[in-house]
Amino acid sequence: MKIIDKTSGKRVGKVDSETKNHKKKLKEEDPIRRTVEKDDNIEEYSPMDPPEAYDTSRVIGADYDAMHPFIKSLMDEHKEVITKVDEFDKTLLTFKESGFLFTIEISEKFNTFFKYFDNHIVPHNTKEEKDFFRILHERLIESGEHGEGKEPNTAINLMEDDHHSFIQLATLSFNLLGLASRLRDLESKGITFDLAYNNGRELAELIRLHIFREDETLFPLAMQLMSTEELDSL
């Protein structure tokens, strides 16, 4: 199972026309430049609902019972993260359907998620990156599971990029919600809330896709390529 293309070093999967139009619309409407500028000449493999991304025929598949305890702990944390992300996503949808009515209840639900993000999701990602990703990256290089070039990319590079994107999207969504709530001009308030909504939805979908790829492909690869001693040391 390949989750990156060896020639391009990109994620496997196509971007549908709806996704491209959505991203173009966001870029045109956003008065605030995105934190990370992307080269328009580089094809973007977006997490926003590419149907192939969740195609189970393209993954290795995970047997939870056969996993090392360290990996089981990561998968257990993923289950909780998905629950929290689903709650956040539902709150975003309710918020938009209400015409961006920023009630006390909505505000509290958003605050609960962003606190969870800071206190649980970020530390979880740090735990993965500390030694696990470093060792697995080396094993992926040795096994030929990488792109081409002097410094070939592996699935680990993609996973770390996702972690960075989580922080960028969460920061944008959180700050835009705060900014919009203080704006008096209704048109500006609506535009800013809409930007916060779009960044939040993208964050939720990226986290879901990221966890799917880790659970169904990256972790099974780790079980194949890493020794018991290496996993025990984590």
What pLDDT score does 148 carry?
84
- H helices present in 30-154, as ranges: 69-97, 104-116, 122-127, 133-143
Running DSSP on this structure, what letter comes out for residue 228? H
Contact 124/102 with Cβ under 8 angstroms? no
User: Which long-range CB contacts under 8 A does 34-38 form with residues at least 24 apart?
Assistant: 34/172, 35/168, 35/171, 35/172, 36/165, 36/168
Q: Is 23 exposed, middle or buried (0-12, 13-18, 19+ CB in 10 A)?
A: middle
Contact 89/31 with Cβ under 8 angstroms? no
What pLDDT score does 69 carry?
97
**pLDDT tens digits along 1-22:** 444 454 555 555 444 455 455 4
Compute the chain's Rg from CA coordinates.
Answer: 19
Structure tokens that stand for 78 in this block: 């993923």
What pLDDT score does 219 carry?
96
Longest distance between any two alpha carbons in the chain, whole Å: 60
What pLDDT score does 56 carry?
64
Structure tokens that stand for 134 in this block: 């470093």
Task: Report the C-alpha gap between 60 and 205 in whole angstroms.
Answer: 21
Residue of 47, 64, 8, 98 whose CA lies nearest to 216: 64
**Three-class SS of residue 37?**
coil
Task: Report the C-alpha gap between 7 and 128 in whole angstroms.
Answer: 26
Query: pLDDT tens string for the chain (234 positions)?
Result: 444 454 555 555 444 455 455 445 444 544 333 333 444 444 444 333 444 666 666 667 778 999 999 999 999 999 999 999 999 999 999 999 999 999 999 999 999 999 999 999 999 999 999 999 999 999 999 999 888 888 889 999 999 999 999 999 999 999 999 999 999 999 999 999 999 999 999 999 999 999 999 999 999 999 999 999 999 999
Ordered structural domains, the chain, with CATH: 17-232 (1.20.120)
What pLDDT score does 145 carry?
87
**pLDDT tens digits along 107-153:** 999 999 999 999 999 999 999 999 999 999 999 999 998 888 888 89
Chain length of the chain: 234
Contact 4/154 with Cβ under 8 angstroms? yes
